[in-house]
Amino acid sequence: MFKIRTVSGSSFTQTVILPYGRRTRRPWPFRNRCTLINWAPKTLDTTIRFLQSVSYAFVMASTIAGSVSCLGQSYPSKPIRIVVTVAPGSGLDARAREIAQGLPEYLGQPVVVENKPGGGGIIAAGAVAKSAPDGYTFLLGGVSVVSYYPVLYKKLPYSADDFVPVSLLATGPTTVYANPSVPATSLKELITYAKAHPGELTFASPGEGTFQHLAGEMFRSRAGVSMLHVPYKDYSQLVTDLQGGRISVLFDSTGALMAHVQAGRLKAFAVTGAHRIAGFPNVPTFAEAGLPAHDAAISYGLLAPQGTPQAIVETVSFACAKERLSRFGFTPRGTTPAEFKQFIGEERARWSAVIKETGVQLDF
């Protein structure tokens, strides 16, 4: 079980949960470690918030302990498989492997990454939807596969209801990248040039219906420009063509091609979000650049087949190594399953409006 210990200093009080009891052969999420609950200044006006934090600690401790108890401490008893929606070598693949490296520390079993690219994540989603809901198969990819794909596509090999949300792993801003040969030095100049030369500029994506595609459609609509969409099956080829000038523009996460911009192989015109980011201190936000309506943000999450025991879902959600994602320019989230479910609903509403606005409708 658990005990609460309070450690006092000159101007703070630190409360932690400490586990104790019989040790098990398999590593357990809290064994040999403590979990920080709150740093509470010793003032009266923070007492209520401090007590709320301690109460939350008891709830979390009870949830995790209850989950393990319900499963008879038998989960997991074999390696866990995470199916990723993209090919090896992409930014999302790197993030998935970061998570896979961290999870065994908490779950006590290896985590294997299996890449299933194609269809903008639809192929991977379809495969996981048909997997046994036993807690040994998960889907890691863009939240789009369950948020707006059911609206964007007339027919899919799965339903959003075929999945149970586990954890919203990360959200992050996106950037408009361009080949250095594009005759513009700012977002305003890019829009001006695109309006003066309708259909001349191209924007790429790793497939129809992907986030990059919808972000480009949002830009076309809200900037009032005409650009040709060029979908790719191979992301590495997309990057090669963007650097080579065969493609003009790409809308993608800020971390995806940051190194190429810093090396001068590409240029970046603007980033989404309320603030500039550390990796691109000289790149303005879309609002600063004059197009605040473009607010495309990217998000990644972990999903399980519908029917996966709630105890397993809670355990894996809590174990997600969310802190590792910050190095890729993303904001780690690590939400609860309930919070992730709410986020999916919000994203579906937001992108459904974009789909209606642009008139995009796809077949798979």
10-residue mean pLDDT series, the chain (364 residues):
40 38 38 39 47 47 49 82 90 86 90 92 96 97 94 94 94 93 97 96 92 94 95 90 97 88 95 90 95 91 97 91 54 82 94 92 88
Domain termination site, one of 289, 308, 343: 289
Residue 226 lies in a domain: yes
The residue out of 230, 257, 289 marking a domain boundary is 289
Cβ atoms of residues 149 and 190 within 8 Å:
no
What's the CATH number where 198 sits? 3.40.190.10
Structure tokens at 283: 């790149």
Within-domain flag for 364: no
What local confidence, expressed as pLDDT, does residue 12 receive? 38
Give CA angle at 116 (111, 121), nearest 5°.
110
Closest by alpha carbon to 202, among 153, 243, 247?
Answer: 247
- Identify the burial level of 286 via C-beta atoms within 10 angstroms of its C-beta, where 0-12 means exposed, 13-18 middle and 19 or more buried: buried
Domain identity same for 216 and 266: yes
What local confidence, expressed as pLDDT, does residue 329 receive? 59
> Tokens representing 158?
């799965």
All residues at 6 or more sequence positions from 11 whose CB lies less than 8 Å from its CB, including other chains = 41, 42
Q: Nearest 5°: phi and psi at 121? A: 105, -10
Stretch (H or E) spanning 115:
strand 111-115
pLDDT of 328 reads 53
Q: How confident is the model at residue 184, as a pLDDT?
A: 97
Q: Are residues 277 and 234 part of one domain?
A: yes
**Which residues lie closer than 8 Å to 142 by C-beta, 6 or more apart?**
85, 92, 121, 210, 211, 298, 299, 300, 301
Q: Domain check: are 268 and 320 in the same one?
A: no
C-alpha atoms less than 13 angstroms from C-alpha of 304 in its C-beta half-sphere: 25
Q: Are residues 62 and 119 in the same domain?
A: no
For residue 292, the model assigns a pLDDT of: 92
Q: Where do we find the tokens 């099956």?
A: 233
- Same structural domain, 311 and 272: no
Predicted confidence at residue 332, as pLDDT, reads: 66
Phi, psi angles (nearest 5°) of residue 75: -110, 135
Alpha-carbon Rg of the chain, whole angstroms? 23
The verdict on residue 75 lying in a domain is no
* Domain-located, residue 217: yes
97 membership: H or E segment, kind and range: helix 91-107
Q: Which domain holds residue 65?
A: 2-70
334 inside domain: yes
Question: Is 294 inside a domain boundary?
Answer: no
- Same domain for 46 and 25: yes
Instruction: Give CA–CA dist 326/95, Å, rounded.
Output: 10
Residues 162 and 304 in one domain: yes
Domain at 102, CATH number: 3.40.190.150
> Tokens standing for 286?
């879309």
Same domain? For 60 and 91 the reply is: no
Beta bridge partners of 171: 299, 331
Looking from the CA of 36 toward its CB, the CA atoms found within 13 Å total 5
Q: Hey, what amino acid is at 260?
A: H
131 and 219 in one domain? Answer: no
222 and 281 share a domain?
A: yes
pLDDT at 284: 96
Measured in whole angstroms, how far is the alpha carbon of residue 59 from the centre of its chain? 26
Query: How many domains does the chain fold into?
Result: 3
